[in-house]
Amino acid sequence: MKPLEELLSAQDQNTVQTLADYVQDHVHKQWRQVLEESQEELRRLYDEAGETAYRVFSRKLLRPVQEQFDRAGVLSEPWFPGTLSASKEWGPVEERQRWLWSVVWREGGEPLGALVVGLFHDHTRFRIPRSPSVLALKETDADAIVRAVVRAAGDRQSGQV
């Protein structure tokens, strides 16, 4: 993983899209490997505690990103990628979508926007049917973020994004 600090210092302007692209690149390259390396543990956890297994998967996948955020002085509220209580979930039980978000900014700066991570998962057994998605939003207000997430998720289902 290329250091985020290096990427940000090479750019004139840091945007939420820069951060989203960085996170999406990491997710794209690592999600299958993390899933394969943890498959047995996550299946066992799913059998014992249900959806907690997906939270453990997302932590394993995104912990290196949070470490890069820390090194680069990128702050988030709530802690990246977000909290279950401030998320939205919908879709059929075999392929649910859970969208979590965090407002992000550089130390000493104004909020850049919100990073949104969409996790697709199964509620009938442990299964992650596809790669998580990452969106960049300019919105920082919780209600505006929810409206934008609902719009974006609907566009993705209809093939418009």
Rounded to whole angstroms, the Cα distance separating 155 from 70 reads 32
Q: Are 126 and 43 in contact (CB under 8 A)?
A: yes
How many whole angstroms from its chain centre is CA 88?
Answer: 13
User: Domain spans of the chain?
Assistant: 14-158
Q: What is the pLDDT of residues 15-56, one digit of tens each?
A: 999 999 999 999 999 999 999 999 999 999 999 999 999 999
User: Which residues of the chain have a pLDDT value below 70?
Assistant: 154-161
Within 10 angstroms of residue 146's Cβ, the number of other Cβ atoms is 16
Residue 159: what pLDDT?
A: 44
Within 10 angstroms of residue 1's Cβ, the number of other Cβ atoms is 12
Residue 91: what pLDDT?
A: 84
Residue 157: what pLDDT?
A: 53
